[in-house]
Homo-oligomer: A and B are copies of this chain.
Amino acid sequence: MSPRTPQQFEEIREEKKALIMEVALKYFANEGYHRTTITRIAREAGISKGLMYNYFESKEELLSAIIQKSVYEVYSFFDVNRDGYLSPDEFEYFIRKITSVLKEKQVFWKLFFQLMVQNEVRDRFLETFVGTRSMFGVTREIEERHFVSGIIKTITEYFLRKKETKGPDYDPLLELNMFILTMKGFWVTYIYSENVDDEYFNNSVNRIIEMYK
């Protein structure tokens, strides 16, 4: 009969928020942000529409929260190698990480990709979370800010360093470009694979490492 403690309320809130975000991510990713209605999310999460708005100020804020959370989780995955120098083994480790996080957060990447694909949303979120708008273009000037830019810089330096051992015919920026191309291809392929074949997945990763390490 005694009222719930603030901690209990906080717990309820966090659990419900997590539930809503989980359901919303699933539908945003698979059906698209615009096509997913609040009604659907609420029904699927077993709550009322009103409660949704108790936790998130708007549909957009819900999307934002999902992205923020996911980006944070992806960030925390890459806490190593932040010194800016990459040894070949660290490079390999990085590729293995990036491919495993693909599996781990497949649904989020689906959503992320979808957002990238739409002008409007891209402009709103890309700069905030990724720090670059040229992600899909050939990025020549290396941007300093943000996580992704930082990684790209580190990797660029890795490729530039390889020129010393590979000889005069080696075009490091072209190789970098091909590497990024391949990673994107890998990404887009496996994001939309419903039943990833582990053997092929691993073989592909190993081959990428073989080609670009």
Which residues from chain A sit less than 8 Å from chain B, CB to CB?
30-32, 34-35, 110, 113-114, 116-120, 135-138, 140, 171, 174, 177-178, 180-189, 191-197, 200-201, 203-204, 207-208, 211
Contact = CB atoms under 8 A, between A and B. Distances in A.
Contacts of A193: 136-138
Given A32-B34, A118-B32, A178 B191 contact: no
Stoichiometry, as copies per complex, reads 4
Contacts of A174: 200, 203-204, 207
Contact of A186 (B117, B181, B186): B181
Nearest to A197: B138
A188 B192 contact: no
Given A178-B208, A181-B186, A185-B187, 12 more contacts: A31-B118, A31-B119, A116-B192, A135-B192, A136-B192, A137-B189, A137-B194, A178-B211, A180-B185, A181-B182, A181-B189, A184-B189
Contact of A138 (B35, B119, B181, B196): B196
A32 B177 contact: no
5 contacts: A31-B120, A35-B118, A135-B192, A136-B189, A137-B194
